[in-house]
Structure 1
Amino acid sequence: MIFTLTMDVLNSILTQAAATGVLQRLMARHAVASTSLYADDVVVFCHAHPDDLMAIREILRVFGDASGMRTNFAKCAALPIRCSVEQQVQAMQILDCRVAQFPTTYLGIPLAIRKPTAAALLPLIDKLSRKLSTWRGSMVSRGERLAFVRHVLSAMPMHILMAFALNKNILAQVNRIIHGFCWAGRKDAHGGQCMVNWARVCHPLSLEGLGVSDLHHAGIALRMRWLWLQRTDPRWPWALLHLPLDPDASAMFRVSTT
């Protein structure tokens, strides 16, 4: 709790710096928060101008002196977005840290200017496949495999599904791994081993299904939540931003709310 409150102070300092002109605003019309915080991982967004970079470095130094939470720039990285080579060199010199390449992956989610490609989502397939070793499928009962599917395999893609929709090819590969392990104990299964239609398996227990998450519809519901929060609570730092949601989530939100 103390850590969270301390990082809120850093966000307030950066917001005040933008309000007073020390830093350039990220958006011309709105004051948008310039930090993203998760546990002990902090991202600061700013323009690539030398004055802004020097101001960021000084703010972090003063914040570290006051809080004791000093920034180790040797472990930090600057990720230029649509910056020239000269701006990248300036960032490396002023911040005294390495320059990483963008697009990148942050908290397990690929970050890019455009929608992530199928190649950028292949690590999700690899991660699911690594979870399935041969002994896990061959030495457990079908009921235990079902529990593993419901609570582990189906939960692993949810983090990405909260951010954006998986393309059909990647979603099909994920579902193939999940129902292959459920029926056959390995990452793929042929038609004769699939005892029940997968759409029925994804029905709730109350509707005679097995309670496995339907990843397509679960993803729509998760992404609709951002639209709901944006509409009902403007205090969120991203509330004024345009949310790049998929058409299915936007259409469902429009017909479900007034």
Structure 2
Amino acid sequence: MKKEKRIIQVIVKSGLITWVLLLLIWQIGSLFYSDDFLPGPFTTFAGAGKLVASGDLFRDILISMQRVLKGWLLGILFAIPAGLCIGHFKKIGAIFEPFLNFFRFVPAIGFITLFLMWFGVGEKSKVALIFYAVIFPVMINTIAGVRTVDDALIEASESLGADGAKTFFTVIIPSAVPNIFTGVRLGLSGAIICIVAAEMLAASEGIGYLIYTSRLYYKTDWIFIGIFTLGIIGFLADRLLQFVGRKALKRFGVR
């Protein structure tokens, strides 16, 4: 009896029941509509099987993830140092924070036309759009991490004879790592979300292109496949990032 209860608890905690209910509701709902409007789970899975067998789905995933990775890494490399400087140096913060607080409310999709004009229809415009979507969550969390460092730690470091630079690198940055890591995770989700917009208007391959062009062929099941693929990729990527963060940054308080 105890073993059965444990199994039930594991199933409930895993969220399996939620997914089963969702699939059941989806299947029931699809019975009242055509496949062009709302394909059921079985129709969608069959469509996914065809895309996998042809190799198109894996090719689109690989291309989209390459774009996401480039934009995400470039965003991190820019946003973390910029956030550290804006958060720590008051004069730099006074100059650049108004721009940050203005542009962070402008969505990346608003720059699609401009980026196409400036960078062309190739990879640069897509990476630039993802870069834009990444830098703000990373930068804002970095600034917050710097500004929430315990003053007692800074005072203790200075009382031991550490100058400003040493305090910055040995106290402030290590203390801000958990916030920075949170920003990096949010930046990854922003990059994956943005890839759909980037590939909808200027691409011939990728998950966003698959979702956008499916409407032309009334392949609604392909749209569902693209949506689920992005969700699965994002979920797995975040779990992998969390695992790496816990292992590599545990001493900084990342859990």
Q: Which TM bucket (shorter chain)? A: under 0.3
The structure with higher relative contact order (CA 8 Å, sep 6+) is 2
Give the strand-richer structure, 1 or 2: 1
Give the helix-richer structure, 1 or 2: 2
State the TM-score, normalizing by the size of structure 2. 0.25
